[in-house]
A = this chain, B = another copy of it.
Amino acid sequence: MLPIFKGSEVAAFLGRRRRRWSLQQQELRKTVEEILEAVRREGDAALRRLSRQLDGVEPQPLRMPAEYLQAAWRDLDPALQEAIDGAIARVRRFHEAQRPTSSWIEPEPGVLLGQRWTALGRVGVYAPGGKAAYPSSVWMSVIPAQVAGVLEIALASPPDPTTGRVHPLVAAVAWRLGLEEVYAVGGAQAIAALALGTDSIRAVDKIVGPGNAYVAAAKQLLYGQVGIDQIAGPSEIVVLADDTARADWVLADLLSQAEHDEQACAVLITPSEPLAQAVQRELWRRWPNLERRAILERSLRQQGACLVVEGLREAVAVSNELAPEHLQLYVADPWSVLPYVRHAGAVFLGPYSPEPIGDYWAGPSHVLPTGGSARFASGLSVWDFLKRSSVIAYDQEALARAAPFVIRLARAEGLPAHAEAVQARLTEPCP
């Protein structure tokens, strides 16, 4: 369990990780295409039927009554209410600092260029659920949208198999955030309903939030028709540690990722082979008393690794290659390593910034790019719920100055009507 790799084994491990993900996606696509087609054709009836088949329960009803949401919050342990309110306040504050402003430049006389930011109109948030529940996903997805100024937010989350309702914790958080539209529907069928619309659920402009592989495949197939935040894969952590790190804390960090599910990936990268060995010993020591061992065993054995490298420079290079969702810099001087980090969804600095502080509390959304997509993508943020319109305003003289060049370029591309739209505005013909 949690194998140690050194030298050329490190490169082999990196290669295996990069190849796996795409293959999984393809296998699911066919199943998911059928689900999308069913929702497209049959609407709400398909949602009920698929829920019976896949979740083992019919939503009771599809849209959660306000009384249910309110009661879910009211019945919550006050200590938990306090924790949720604390997290909501911090996440809101962080995202309020993130709002961009529209801006204008006047690059030459008579020319005004701008970019206007406007909020999306209607957004769908998916929150995983079913037997377990991840209420933190609700605040981590909804708050950036609210701060951006999105007015309509529809939340979808799978029905609990025993009640046919959204998990009480998800319902409670939805109520606390002021959501009114909460639907007890999950999986690919929820994504289809949000993207395509049914009689009960109006189509949204963009769908965000993590989900399982079916949710991911549905988001991919519907992208274009609707915006999506990302195609989420399994969760990942890289703990980059040197010999100043305590093995028991490193192990605790790796376990906190590995316990998510069997696909979760926890990797230690260290120049210190003694640390890697100490982490392994610590794992054996704690093993008999750990919870969720079935999941831990699979994820540590199949996805996890301790990569022993030459030095911190190589450690960062290997981490950049993995482009992890979470990167913990647990080294003597994390601030001196940070500038070399090129690809990571979120970076946690020093011994007192364990990853769960970001999962629930600190401020940035925990919806982060997975599966190596931190190479090209960012975590969920206010920007996901805004779009820019370019603005171009020329006056008559500025157009006349630009005209000969624009006409020349349009003609070179073989687009005469482009040239003519400019030419028509000139009082003098353009050579």
- Name A's B-contacting residues (CB within 8 A): 21-22, 25, 79-80, 82-84, 86-87, 90, 93-94, 97-98, 100, 103, 105, 107, 111-113, 115-116, 118, 120-121, 132-136, 169, 205-206, 216, 220-221, 223-227, 230-231, 233, 248-249, 252-253, 255-256, 258-260, 290-292, 296, 334, 338, 341-365, 368-369, 371, 373-379, 381, 383, 387-396, 398-399, 402, 404-406, 408-410, 412-422, 424-425
Contacts and interface: CB of A to CB of B under 8 A. Distances in A.
A19 to B, nearest CB: 10
Contacts of A134: 413
Nearest to A420: B252
A353 B394 contact: yes
Contact of A417 (B79, B252, B409): B252
A86 B405 contact: yes
Contact of A21 (B21, B225, B352, B404): B225
A376 to B, nearest CB: 3
A67 to B, nearest CB: 22
A339 to B, nearest CB: 9
Given A94-B107, A405-B361, A391 B349 contact: yes
B390 A364 contact: yes
- A-side binding surface: helix, strand, loop or mixed? mixed
A340 to B, nearest CB: 10
Nearest to A84: B409
Nearest to A383: B383
Given A346-B390, A356-B418, A97 B105 contact: yes
A298 to B, nearest CB: 14
A169 B412 contact: yes
Given A25-B224, A353-B399, 13 more contacts: A21-B224, A82-B405, A107-B363, A116-B338, A206-B375, A220-B223, A255-B417, A256-B421, A258-B417, A292-B416, A345-B389, A346-B389, A357-B406
14 contacts: A80-B408, A83-B404, A90-B107, A132-B413, A205-B375, A227-B375, A253-B421, A296-B417, A345-B389, A349-B393, A356-B410, A361-B406, A365-B390, A374-B389
Given A388-B381, A393-B350, A105 B113 contact: no
